[in-house]
Structure 1
Amino acid sequence: MMSRRGCVLAVAVAAALLLALWSLLGGWYGSGPLEKDQNFIVPNGASLSAVAERLEQKGVIRSAGGFVLRARIFGGGGGIKAGEFAIPAHASPARVLAIISSDEVIRRFVTIPEGMPAIMVQERLMAVPQLTGEVAAPEEGSVLPDSYAFESREPREAVLRRMQAAMSRTLKELWARRAPNLVVKTPEQALVLASIVEKETGKPAERRMVAGLYSNRLRTGMLLQADPTIIYPITRGKPLGRRILQSEIQAVNDYNTYTMVGLPRYPITNPGKASIEAVLHPADTDALYMVADGTGGHAFASTLEQHNANVAKWFAIRRERGEL
């Protein structure tokens, strides 16, 4: 039979064990010291110990050593993921580990609109403060306009490579499903023509019609006479901000379709998927001419006589607006 002294000792040991267990549990599931919500970055390849040190430095947890110990006892001691995470105020260490071990990574996006030229893609990437490193203007036409997710502190060059890989993949897929008997004979030619279609119309419903018109001109050996091809060598795709000069219309270079037969040598912007599809599935039309119709779209014509009548209507509209 246990003596009184033995009973007292047993109770003391049990109490100490309970206190230790309570301390372990309380230090794991109790409120943390973080005063307000904070974003926290887990670097690629970081160990649990290294992350714990950073969490303590940021005031997210009280003790790096205590966090690692409890994580190994209660949380499996690993499985953390790289990325940026949102840590709520007073999050318990258990909650913190659950967050940085989950897929709750903060998603940030950079958007490249359809028709944004390469020089402006570079400017947009350089303007994102969460990205790192320098990036040069990409090759024109190499970027697929879209919204791209990125992680904080990710290199700009890595994001650009994803944009370019998306264009290469999309162009390959669309080319494989192209219509027969196209005037463009290679994916590269399709990309160049799509860049012109992208800049020539702001109306999605017109894309196939514009593609059909330019396909007809290419097929018959007519000059494309696309104004955006005059502007591109001057501004690299940025708005001109004034009327085109006669000397610019007559300029001979790799882009100006007023002084060359056929396609420009290179794209004049980054066309979107819809413009590429339009070029690969152009409208079945006999149109050879187009002029603005006053609504943001164009009036199309198959003869010069019809075109001249449309031009006269457009000039009348501009006079009514006080633009002439």
Structure 2
Amino acid sequence: MGRRASWIRRTAWALGLGVLLAALLAAAASWWAWRWLDQPLPLRQPVVELSVEPGTAPRAVAEAWVRAGIDTDPRLLFAWFRLSGQAARIRAGSYEVEPGVTPRTLLDMLVQGREALLTLRLPEGATLREWRAVLAAAPDLTSASAGLDDAALLAAVGAAADGPRWAEGRFFPDTYAYSRRVSDLTVLRRAFAAMQRHLQAAWATRAPDLPLKTPEDALILASIIEKETGRADERALVSAVFINRLRIGMPLQTDPTIIYGLGEAFDGNLRKRDLTTDGPYNTYLRGGLPPSPIAMPSLASIQAALNPAASKALYFVARGDGSSQFSETLDAHNRAVNKYQRGGR
């Protein structure tokens, strides 16, 4: 009986010691794991990039990070993803990490979708043809629009063409952020939606009694203002000149429309024969607005088109310093031309 009691005591002590050791080991493991979550992960290069495709399993994401350059055991990363309860919330996208990233901040980035974005400037005053060249040269931007004509391009961004050059001027110039390997159509869809939004908002605050029948008319005039304006503070005055001409039926007589009509045939020199050759964009020979915008206008030019300055000016001429001289009569305009363009007194 005594030996049995002694064996029971020894067994209980051993079990107790085992439980204690297991608890200590679990505590140590928990402490190590908790500390590991906030320790910088070793990287095999200064910047590690990874594109997570839609539908990628969390285990595959962990393994892909290790292949890309995070020097750790992928099983640890996957265990952290799973035990955090957020593995199913990892988002697709293009990501990059730098020294200092920890398992915790890595998962936060993936769950919040904080992608490594590139930026692209689509400039105001440029044509769609020029924008296409900018898009084609943008790094890590997939070119899906290269083989599309204007009508097909509009269809791809969710719009319908009303004419052969209806795509011109319909996209808002701005700086756009995009993730790596996204389609250029994604950028253009955003630019198209932004232009629609800005144009409708500006149209709602237009001045009364303008000789512009539709928002599209405003867009056409805004594109001309964009090309004719050397200084931002003169946009409303340039607008007033064209609005005044439209009101009295006077041709707009603006060189940028003719240059646009010439397209790639324009060699930098506008000749007299260009002014006297009829065509839909020759605003010397044809009254009213041309059939489409001639460039991508800025918001400032759109607002100027719809809210011209209170001026009776019908003419303007460049002074040579970036500003313009505005005149109400042809005689005053001729004197300004003689002074600023011909060096007269």
TM-score range, shorter chain: 0.7 to 0.9
Distance 2:40 2:316 in 1: 69
CA contact (8 A) 1:34 1:90 kept: no
Identity %: 35
Distance 2:289 2:15 in 1: 99
Q: How does 1:124-203 map to 2 (within 5 A)?
A: 124-135=134-145, 136=148, 139-203=167-231
Change (3 A) 1:49 1:315: same
Distance 1:21 1:273 in 2: 57
CA contact (8 A) 1:225 1:257 kept: yes
Distance 1:99 1:69 in 2: 17
Distance 2:335 2:69 in 1: 74
Aligned: 1:311 with 2:322: no
Match of 2:132 in 1: 122
Select the residue among 316, 319, 324 that pairs with 1:298: 324
Match of 2:263 in 1: 235
Q: Unpaired runs of 5+ in structure 1?
A: none
Q: Unpaired runs of 5+ in structure 2?
A: 1-7, 154-166
CA contact (8 A) 1:255 1:264 kept: yes
Partner SS state of residue 112, structure 2: coil
Q: How does 1:37-56 map to 2 (within 5 A)?
A: 37-56=47-66
CA contact (8 A) 1:24 1:70 kept: no
Q: Which moved more, 1:265-274 or 1:56-65?
A: 56-65
Q: Which moved more, 1:220-229 or 1:67-76?
A: 67-76
Distance 1:233 1:23 in 2: 71
Distance 2:113 2:144 in 1: 29
Match of 1:34 in 2: 43
C-alpha displacement of 1:22: 5.7
Partner SS state of residue 222, structure 1: coil
C-alpha displacement of 1:70: 2.6
Change (3 A) 1:262 1:48: same
Distance 1:13 1:243 in 2: 87
How many pairs align?
317
Distance 1:46 1:297 in 2: 57
Change (3 A) 1:227 1:63: same
Distance 1:95 1:296 in 2: 51
Aligned: 1:222 with 2:231: no
One-letter amino acid of the structure 2 residue matched with residue 246 of structure 1? K
Distance 1:110 1:207 in 2: 26
C-alpha displacement of 1:149: 1.7
Match of 1:273 in 2: 299
Partner SS state of residue 101, structure 1: helix
Q: Which moved more, 1:6-15 or 1:133-142?
A: 6-15
Select the residue among 87, 95, 101 that pairs with 2:97: 87
Distance 2:322 2:60 in 1: 58
Match of 1:98 in 2: 108
C-alpha displacement of 1:79: 2.3
Change (3 A) 1:14 1:172: closer
Cα-Cα RMSD? 2.5
Partner SS state of residue 149, structure 1: strand
Aligned: 1:68 with 2:94: no
One-letter amino acid of the structure 1 residue matched with residue 176 of structure 2? Y
Q: Which moved more, 1:307-316 or 1:223-232?
A: 307-316
Distance 1:301 1:121 in 2: 35
Distance 2:268 2:40 in 1: 62
Match of 1:210 in 2: 238
Change (3 A) 1:179 1:2: farther
C-alpha displacement of 1:12: 4.9
CA contact (8 A) 1:61 1:93 kept: no
Q: Which moved more, 1:125-134 or 1:208-217?
A: 125-134
Distance 2:17 2:244 in 1: 102
C-alpha displacement of 1:197: 0.8
